[in-house]
Amino acid sequence: MAADDGHNAERRKTTTASVKVKVVNTSMVAPSNRTETERPASCPLITFDVPYITFYYNQKLLLYKTSTDDEEFRGAVERMKEGLAAALDYFYPLAGKIAKDEDGSLIVDCSGESLVGAEVIDASAEDVSVEELAEGETTELLQEVVPYTGIMNLEGLHRPLLAVQFTKLKNGLALGCAFNHAIVDGHSTWHFMTSWADLTRGPSATISVPPFHDRTKARSTRVKVDLPSSPKAHELADPNGPPKHLVAKVFSFSEPALSQLKSQANANLPPESKPFSTFQSLGAHVWRSVCRARALKPEDITVFAIFMNCRSRIDPPMPESYFGNLIQAIFTGTASGLLQASPPEFGTGLLQKVIESHDTKAVNARLDEYEAKPKMFHYTDAGVNTVAVGSSPRFRVYDVEFGFGRPERVRSGLNNKFDGVMFLYPGRDGGIDAELTLDPEAMKNLERDEQFLNVAAA
| Model confidence pLDDT, tens digit, residues 389-411 | 999 999 999 999 999 999 999 99
Q: What is the pLDDT of residue 229?
A: 55
Residue ranges and CATH numbers for the domains of the chain are 9-236 (3.30.559.10), 247-456 (3.30.559.10)
Q: How confident is the model at residue 15 (pLDDT cuts 50, 70, 90)?
A: very low
Q: What is the pLDDT of residue 227?
A: 74
Q: What is the pLDDT of residue 39?
A: 82
- Quote the distance between the C-alpha of residue 213 and its chain's center: 20
- Which region among 88-102, 199-213, 441-455 has the lowest average model confidence (pLDDT)? 199-213
Q: What is the pLDDT of residue 243?
A: 56
* Distances, alpha carbon 78 to alpha carbons 1, 102, 120, 166, 360, in Å: 11, 40, 11, 10, 45
Q: What is the pLDDT of residue 203?
A: 67
Percent of the chain's residues with pLDDT above 90: 77
Q: What is the CA radius of gyration of the chain?
A: 22
Spatial contact of 209 and 331, defined as CB atoms under 8 Å apart: no
Q: What is the pLDDT of residue 224?
A: 87
Cα dihedral across residues 361, 367, 371, 376: positive or negative:
positive
Q: What is the pLDDT of residue 240?
A: 53
Ramachandran category for residue 139: left, alpha or beta (phi over 0 → left; psi -120 to 50 → alpha): alpha
Span 278-292, pLDDT tens digits: 999 999 999 999 999
Q: What is the pLDDT of residue 135?
A: 80
Q: How confident is the model at residue 329 (pLDDT cuts 50, 70, 90)?
A: very high
Give me the residues paired with residue 85 across strands: none
Q: What is the pLDDT of residue 7?
A: 39
Those residues whose C-beta lies under 8 Å from the C-beta of residue 176, and which sit 6 or more positions away, are 59, 60, 61, 145, 146, 147, 164, 165, 167, 413
Span 28-69, pLDDT tens digits: 999 987 555 578 889 999 999 999 998 999 999 999 999 999
3-state class (DSSP) for residue 12:
helix
Give the global pTM.
0.91
Span 76-117, pLDDT tens digits: 999 999 999 999 999 999 999 999 998 889 999 998 888 999
Span 224-244, pLDDT tens digits: 887 765 444 545 555 555 556
Q: How confident is the model at residue 455 (pLDDT cuts 50, 70, 90)?
A: confident
Does 177 score more than 60 pLDDT?
Answer: yes
**Nearest Cα residue to 327 out of 312, 348, 342:** 312
Does 9 score more than 70 pLDDT?
Answer: no
Average confidence (pLDDT) over 381-386: 81
**Nearest Cα residue to 413 out of 201, 172, 229, 151:** 151
Angle between helices 255-266 and 344-357 (to 10 degrees): 90
**Nearest Cα residue to 285 out of 87, 452, 138:** 452
**Nearest Cα residue to 117 out of 166, 54, 163:** 163
Alpha helices in 217-343 (DSSP H): 255-266, 278-293, 336-341
> Average model confidence (pLDDT) for the chain?
89
Q: How confident is the model at residue 196 (pLDDT cuts 50, 70, 90)?
A: very high
Does 206 score more than 90 pLDDT?
Answer: no
Q: How far is 41 from 152, CA to CA, in rounded Å?
A: 24
Q: How confident is the model at residue 429 (pLDDT cuts 50, 70, 90)?
A: very high
| 382 DSSP 8-state letter | T
